[in-house]
Amino acid sequence: KIELLSENLYSYSDFNTKQINKSYSTDIFGLGSSYQMSQRISIFGSVHSVFFGDENEFNDISDRIYLTLGSTYKVKPKLYLTLSDTFRFNLDNYTQISARTPISETGSIYFGERVASFGNQFVATSILGAEEQLSNGISSYGEYQIDTLSSQLNSRAVLGSKGRFAVADGLNVLLSYEHTEVVSNGELSYSYTEPSQILDPNIQIINNYSQASQRKGPLYGYSYTQKLSVNNDLIYDYMGLNYPLGFSLGDNRRDVFSGSLEYLKLKNLKGSVFGEFRFDNNDENFGGEDRIQYLLRLSLSWGITKDINLSFAGHYLTVSNLEYKSDEYRFTENSFGLALRPKDFDWVSLFMKFSNVYENRYDFVTKNRFESYSHIFSIAPVFELPYGFELVEKLVLKRSYIDDLSVLGSDSLDTLLLINRINYNFYKRMFSSGIEYRILSVLGNENKSGFLIDLGYNFKRYFRLAIGYNFTDFSDNLYRIRDYNHHGFFMRVTAKY
Note whether 419 and 428 are within 8 A (CB).
Answer: no
Q: Between 411 and 342, name the one with better pLDDT.
A: 342
Note whether 340 and 307 are within 8 A (CB).
Answer: yes
Average pLDDT, the chain: 77
Nearest to 141 by CA among 82, 58, 226: 226
Mean of pLDDT values over 183-208 = 37
What would the pLDDT profile of 276-318 be if each residue is shown by its tens digit? Answer: 999 999 888 777 788 999 999 999 999 999 899 999 999 999 9
CA distance 213 to 246: 11
CA distance 283 to 247: 9
CB atoms within 10 A of CB 431: 15
Q: What percent of the chain has pLDDT over 70?
A: 74
pLDDT of the residue at 405: 57
With 60 as the cut, is the pLDDT of residue 26 above it? yes
Going from the C-alpha of 338 to that of each of 88, 303, 351, the distances in angstroms are 38, 10, 6
H or E, element range at 62: helix 61-64
Cα angle 268, 28, 313 (rounded to 5 degrees) comes to 35
pLDDT of the residue at 313: 95
Query: What does 136-162 look like in DSSP terms, one character per residue?
Result: TTEEEEEEEEEEE-SS-EEEEEEEEEE
With 70 as the cut, is the pLDDT of residue 10 above it? no
Mean of pLDDT values over 70-79 = 88
With 90 as the cut, is the pLDDT of residue 217 above it? no
Q: Between 70 and 236, name the one with better pLDDT.
A: 70
Contacts of 183 (CB under 8 A, 6+ apart): 154, 155, 156, 250, 251, 252
With 90 as the cut, is the pLDDT of residue 333 above it? yes
With 60 as the cut, is the pLDDT of residue 56 above it? no
Phi-psi region of 387 (alpha: psi -120 to 50; beta: other; left: phi over 0): left
Lowest-confidence region among 219-223, 280-284, 457-461:
219-223
pLDDT of the residue at 449: 94
Report if pTM > 0.75. no
Note whether 449 and 472 are within 8 A (CB).
Answer: yes
Give SS3 for 372.
strand
Residue 383 CA to its chain's centroid (Å): 31
**Neighbour-count burial of 2, counting CB atoms closer than 10 A to its CB (0-12 exposed, 13-18 middle, 19+ buried):** exposed
What would the pLDDT profile of 122-136 be if each residue is shown by its tens digit? Answer: 778 888 999 898 877
CA dihedral (484, 56, 464, 380) positive or negative? negative
pLDDT of the residue at 402: 82
Which amino acid, 101? T
Query: What does 237-276 look like in DSSP terms, one character per residue?
Result: ---S--SPPEE-SEEEEEEEEEEEEEE--SSSEEEEEEEE
pLDDT band for 204, please (50, 70, 90 cuts): very low
pLDDT of the residue at 398: 93
With 60 as the cut, is the pLDDT of residue 186 above it? no
CA distance 263 to 259: 14
Which amino acid, 194? E
Note whether 379 and 352 are within 8 A (CB).
Answer: yes
CA distance 290 to 383: 53
Ramachandran angles phi, psi of 238, nearest 5°? -95, 135
CA distance 322 to 392: 49
